[in-house]
């Protein structure tokens, strides 16, 4: 039976900073508008972390069952592939994580909306169920959307739009089109992390029949797509500042562009898929740094 250290390893802690970046951005905008609630923030973080861990477990399970995680895989071995966790244990790990995450989501929705708005409560409940389903269905099942090149769309929607705008709306219950701009930034950068992962695994995925967007585009076009994602992320955030500027503190996040631009240069020059693996961590942490600096700017 797998021990705690094994489950912690399978949860892939290095992916967690990226998952909470959207919550930090949406919450910081609420802080700037004097709408922050610490309980909602804590529950939003718990829900997001639960979704990310569920996604990691499901990806491990789905790719193992389909035979994608094999000797051709470039990245680090996963828990099922290495034999540290059995298939049945991972299945029940997904079930338990899904139930806990759903509990956090329902509690969050109830505390955010209560009896104030049954409609918005139901909308967010559907979004929560959709997020749980999306976390699982990326690689699990015959209709896994990650095997059809649709992973980028779901990552952009749930890591970007839902995480940022959804968390902002939980505090404020207000519509502000400008918030879609930083939401798009986090969405584009999160899609960039997935794109890097798929660029690293392109040859193995193609051989295993996992038709990611990178497999469909090919190496050269996947690089062009990566440049587009990061430049679109930069542009969206700068546009938000142009529409919402209140002082120089708003531009603190610009410091995070520096490591991200160096990252782009390394991707441009890369010819070895193995060297893309450390870039995954750098892009994820660069996105987290951007979220933190943006949040500080909003608070200050």
In this structure, the chain runs to a length of 300
C-beta atoms surrounding 37 within 10 Å: 16
Helices (H) and strands (E) in the chain, counts: 14, 0
- For residue 278, what are the contacts with CB-CB under 8 A and spacing of at least 6? none
Q: What are phi and psi of 218, to 5 degrees?
A: 90, 165
The share of the chain scoring above pLDDT 90, in percent, equals 66
As to burial, measured by CB atoms within 10 angstroms (0-12 exposed, 13-18 middle, 19+ buried), residue 149 is: middle
Q: Distance between CA atoms of 131 and 161, rounded to whole angstroms?
A: 12
Q: Distance between CA atoms of 128 and 200, rounded to whole angstroms?
A: 30
C-beta atoms surrounding 264 within 10 Å: 21
C-beta atoms surrounding 33 within 10 Å: 14
Residue 72 has pLDDT above 70, yes or no: no
What does the DSSP assignment read for 86-137? -HHHHHHHHHHHHHHHHHHHHHHHHHHHTTT-HHHHHHHHHHHHHHHHHHHH
pTM confidence score: 0.93
Please calculate the CA angle 159-29-191 and round it to the nearest 5 degrees. 20
CB 237 within 8 A of CB 185: yes
State mean pLDDT over 123-150: 91
CB 90 within 8 A of CB 80: yes
Confidence band, pLDDT 50/70/90 cuts, at residue 69 = low
- For residue 25, what are the contacts with CB-CB under 8 A and spacing of at least 6? 163, 164, 182, 183, 185, 186, 291, 294, 295
Residue 74 has pLDDT above 80, yes or no: no
Residue 43 has pLDDT above 80, yes or no: yes
- For residue 151, what are the contacts with CB-CB under 8 A and spacing of at least 6? 138, 145, 194, 198, 212, 213
At residue 76, the pLDDT reads 67
Confidence band, pLDDT 50/70/90 cuts, at residue 1 = low
pLDDT tens for 239-269 read 999 998 888 888 999 999 999 999 999 998 8
Residue 101 Cα distances to 10, 15, 36, angstroms: 17, 17, 22
Confidence band, pLDDT 50/70/90 cuts, at residue 68 = confident
């Amino acid at each position: 039976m797998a021990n705690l250290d094994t489950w912690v390893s399978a949860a892939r802690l290095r992916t967690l900073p990226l998952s909470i970046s959207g919550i930090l951005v949406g919450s910081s905008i609420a802080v700037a508008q004097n709408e922050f609630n610490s309980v909602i923030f804590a529950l939003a973080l718990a829900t997001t972390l639960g979704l990310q861990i569920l996604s990691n477990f499901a990806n491990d399970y789905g790719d193992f069952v389909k035979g994608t995680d094999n000797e051709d895989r470039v990245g680090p071995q996963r828990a099922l592939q290495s034999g540290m966790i059995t298939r049945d244990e991972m299945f029940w790990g997904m079930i338990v994580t899904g139930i806990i995450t759903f509990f956090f989501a329902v509690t969050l929705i109830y505390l955010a909306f209560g009896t104030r708005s049954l409609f918005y409560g139901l909308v967010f409940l559907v979004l929560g169920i959709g997020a749980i389903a999306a976390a699982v269905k990326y690689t699990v099942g015959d209709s896994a959307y990650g095997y059809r090149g649709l992973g980028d769309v779901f990552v952009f929607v749930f890591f970007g739009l839902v995480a940022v705008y959804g968390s902002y709306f939980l505090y404020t219950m207000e519509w502000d089109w400008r918030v879609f701009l930083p939401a798009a930034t986090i969405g584009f950068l999160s899609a960039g992390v997935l794109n890097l992962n798929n660029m690293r695994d392109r040859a193995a995925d193609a051989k295993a029949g996992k038709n990611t967007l990178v497999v469909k585009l090919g190496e050269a076009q996947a690089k062009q797509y990566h440049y587009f994602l990061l430049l679109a992320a930069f542009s969206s955030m700068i546009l938000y500042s142009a529409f919402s500027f209140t002082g120089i503190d708003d531009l603190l996040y610009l410091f995070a562009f520096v490591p991200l631009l160096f990252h782009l240069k390394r991707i441009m020059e890369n010819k070895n898929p193995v060297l893309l693996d450390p870039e995954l961590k750098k892009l994820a942490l660069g996105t987290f740094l951007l979220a933190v600096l943006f949040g500080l700017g909003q608070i200050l």
